[in-house]
Structure formats: C-alpha cells, structure tokens
Amino acid sequence: MEEPRIKGELSTLNGLPSFFEGPADDVIPEQDLPFERFKPPPEEETAESIRTVQAWVVDVPDPRSIGPMLKWLHRSGLDTAELGHLKRVRKQDNTTSFLLSASPEPPPLPSSPADIALPAPPYVTMVPASAALTVTSLALKNALWPTTYAPRRKGEVESWSRGKARWAWDVMCATVQEALRARDSGELPIAACIPAPYNEPDRATFIARDTRRSAAHPLRHAVMNAIRQLADHHAASDDPYPPAVQVEADDESSPDDGERNGRNYLLTGRMLFTTHEPCVMCSMALLHSRVKEVVYILPMRGTGGCGGATCLPTLSGVNHRFIICHWKGGTIDEAGLRIGEAIDA
C-alpha cells in the first residue's frame, strides 16, 4: 500500500533513516524506529518504596477456626474489595493471623459459634496498599503480609511497518516546520500535531503552535491548542465524538469503568507529535483525553510531565496510561527549537 504523507521538510543531521528504503508494508525492528519508547521504572521494588495501610488483625490459635472465621467475615460485611489484594490468613512463627479490615476502629469480633476461639483482641499492623506488580515487589510485600501477584498485562509491542515509520517521520517533519514558522513570527518555537491515523488518512489532521505570546494568554500551549482544534472540529461535525473503541478491562492504558467504550474522549486511539515534552498541564489534558501515544523531540527535565519533572501516566492514582516516545537524537537539527529549561511546553 502507498503510505499517506504529510508534506514538509526536516533538517536532518545524518541523512534519511534506513526505513525509507524498501517496501512500505515490511515490518521493521524496534531499533530502526525513529523514536525510543519510554520504559517506566519498576514499581515498589525497594523496602522504602512499599506503600502501606493500617489494618486490623487477630491471632487465631486454632487453625480449625479459620473456616468459621471466613464464613463470619462474609456475613459481617467485612469481606470487601478494599483488601482484596491481600490473603486473609498469614502463618508466621507458629502463629496463624487473620486479616479483618482496614477500618479506623477495630471491628466487633464474633461471639459465636463456639468453634471460633479468639483469646486476644484485634491489633493493628501495616499491610501493603496494593497488589505486587513484579516478583521483587511480591517478595517485599509478602514480608509484611501475604499479597497477590498481579503483574500488568503487557501485550506485544505494536509492530511498525516501513510505511508507518515514514508516516511518523513526515508528521514530525510538519510539526517541526510549524514550530519554526512560529519562531519566525515571534512565538515560542513549539508545535504539536494530532495526525490522521496511518491507516485512516481521510480523517482530519490538527496542527497547532504555541500562541501564548500573541494571545497574551499563559495557557495557549501548542498541545492545548491542538486539542482545542480537535474539540472544535468534533463540535462542528455531525458525529461530535470519536468512534467507539473496545478496551480490555485490565489493559494498563484502559479508561475508567464509567466509559469502557472510548466515547466522549477526544484522543482515543490517536497519537500526538510535539517538538517539546509536554508540561504537566498539557500531559494531564492528554491523559484526560485518553491519548494513545505521545512522541516528542526535546525533553524538558525541569517542567515536563512525560518523564521530565514527573511522569503523569506512571503515577499510581491515574486511570489511564499512554505510551511515551522520545525522538532519537542525531536525526534532527534541534538548534532552532531550543527554549529555556524553565519554560512550560
């Protein structure tokens, strides 16, 4: 197939990359892509990083009481999902302990049946706040309390064809050219592009520059302007929302439970290319819009929200995760794109 192209010219340092040679449909290895995918650091793999919560525990001298205790727990309403990532029973140093609840006050213990013998009152202990995502984390958490092992489902890395790599090159080319035009007109040399997907060339492409100087508005960042263009387009069209997308419930880039099908999210299934790492504000807007992938050239270590000052999609409290890609150095002349390290891009 003939790949869709976005016209533009990119000032290269080492000529065109190897994927410009050969059939467009050929799949190329990961190392030949024009960008590198960001790999988040392992979570909770040191004793100091394990997040814990307070929980009530009671020792059960007779292991035969465990069965009746489990039945009582279910009847009492304490068998909630709050501690669902933990095992209810811990056997340690000839002592069997039973996990009750994470309530602020100790729960009332069963007074019957007679086969539940609890000579001691419940006491507080610290337990892991979440399931273990790695084997190392599991060992550390099990030392506190038996914890379930629930590694994130890691599907196969999406393969890219030569044609799609050329498409990404042309998209970034157009983005850089827009940033340079912005610089020449007195704006910051920052631009962002939401291209029509590679396999859907008839969909609209949105490209925007930073306009905070001309608009005298501190929030007119390139990424925000591009998202606004897309929102305006949807508002003016017959179908104001993105197409529905089926998402797996345990996919680490899935949306929250309220909107499993992807509707009402502007960037579902879309990529965003930008000259600079998005700031925290723009990264949060991308997260809320359910962007699929973000590709940037220049990292912003002091202000970036995709690995610089912080990395929003890797934080434990967010309900969507997107892929972050850093454009490989040595391919683009970045001199005209440089901005101050303290600037929010």
pLDDT in tens, 204-223: 999 999 999 999 999 999 99
In this structure, what DSSP letter does residue 258 have?
G
Token output for 196: 């029509």
Residue 99 pLDDT greater than 50, yes or no: yes
DSSP-derived pairing of the beta strands 35-37 and 323-327 = antiparallel
Q: What residues are paired with 90 via a beta bridge?
A: 97
Mean pLDDT over 186-198 rounds to 97
- Residue 252's pLDDT is 43
Share of the chain above pLDDT 90, in %: 53
Tens-place pLDDT, residues 40-52? 766 788 898 898 9
Is residue 110 pLDDT above 90, yes or no?
no
Residue 5 has pLDDT above 50, yes or no: no
DSSP-assigned letter for residue 186: T
pLDDT of 289 higher than 90: yes
Q: Residues of 166-191 as b/e, b for ≥16 C-beta within 10 angstroms?
A: bbbbbbbbbbbbbbbebbeeebbbbb
Q: Which amino acid is at 49?
A: S
3-state secondary structure of 127: strand
Q: What's the pLDDT band for 101 if we cut at 50, 70, 90?
A: confident
Q: What is the pLDDT of residue 41?
A: 66
> Does residue 198 register a pLDDT over 50?
yes
The more confident residue out of 333 and 185 is: 185
